[in-house]
Amino acid sequence: MNKSLCLGVVALCLASGPRFASAEWQPVEKEALYTITGQTGAELYASIGERGPKAGIGRAIAHTNFKLTWTRKYEEQGGACVLAVAKPKLIITYTLPKPARPLPSGTRENWDIFIDGVRKHELVHGDFIKEMVRAIEQATLGLTVPDDPKCRKIRTVMTKRLGALSQTQRQRSRDFDQVELTDGGNIHQLILKLVNGP
């Protein structure tokens, strides 16, 4: 089984900067659970390998995905185009495993420790996404492109800025997973404790 915890990245858009007030917004965060079977740690982990969210050529334990859209208002000012309003709508979904039936004592305690650690790991990915959206706000709200009365050039300028911010967020997530999943890493330790039992 692919042990990776995977971050699903969805295409982004735009948002904030110095001359304009940043819009107040809060992300929507929710969990989507998939069912696994088994009564021992080894059985539960094997079921994760069969039913977990797809990640590359294998399956992941958990998955963090997001949908990001924007409400934007462009203004023409003296032949220039200004991004005057950029309000994000961010929905983050954490996909996590859930046993189909109550677990026996011992297994239940190990499972609780395992899933708590996995959830905390995914929440870090969620934090990276939220930080990226705030960075997009700072990089784009108030952006002014001269000689752009029809507000066409500004979109190309913003796309270049957003590409760099998106790549930064993806790399942070990959680096974080690498540390957590290597031998001796936090997620690796959680897997061993779950599979090997009390």
* Spatial distance between the Cα atoms of 18 and 56, rounded to a whole number of angstroms: 40
Coil, strand or helix: which one is 72? strand
- Residue 7: predicted pLDDT: 28
pLDDT tens string, the chain, 198 residues long: the values are 333 333 222 222 233 333 444 558 999 999 999 999 999 999 999 999 999 998 877 889 999 999 999 999 999 999 999 999 999 999 999 999 999 999 999 999 999 999 999 999 999 999 999 999 999 999 999 999 999 999 999 999 998 889 899 999 999 999 999 999 888 899 999 999 999 976
- Residue 88: predicted pLDDT: 95
Where does the chain show beta strands of DSSP type E? 6-7, 28-36, 54-55, 58-59, 63-77, 80-99, 144-145
- Residue 198: predicted pLDDT: 61
- Residue 56: predicted pLDDT: 75
- Residue 197: predicted pLDDT: 78
73: left (phi over 0), alpha (psi -120 to 50) or beta: beta
| Sequence-separated (6 or more) residues with CB below 8 Å from residue 46 | 1, 38
- Residue 166: predicted pLDDT: 92
* Spatial distance between the Cα atoms of 186 and 169, rounded to a whole number of angstroms: 21
> pTM, whole model, 2 decimals?
0.84
Closest C-alpha to 74, from 184, 156, 149: 149
Q: So where are the chain's domains?
A: 6-196
- Residue 40: predicted pLDDT: 96
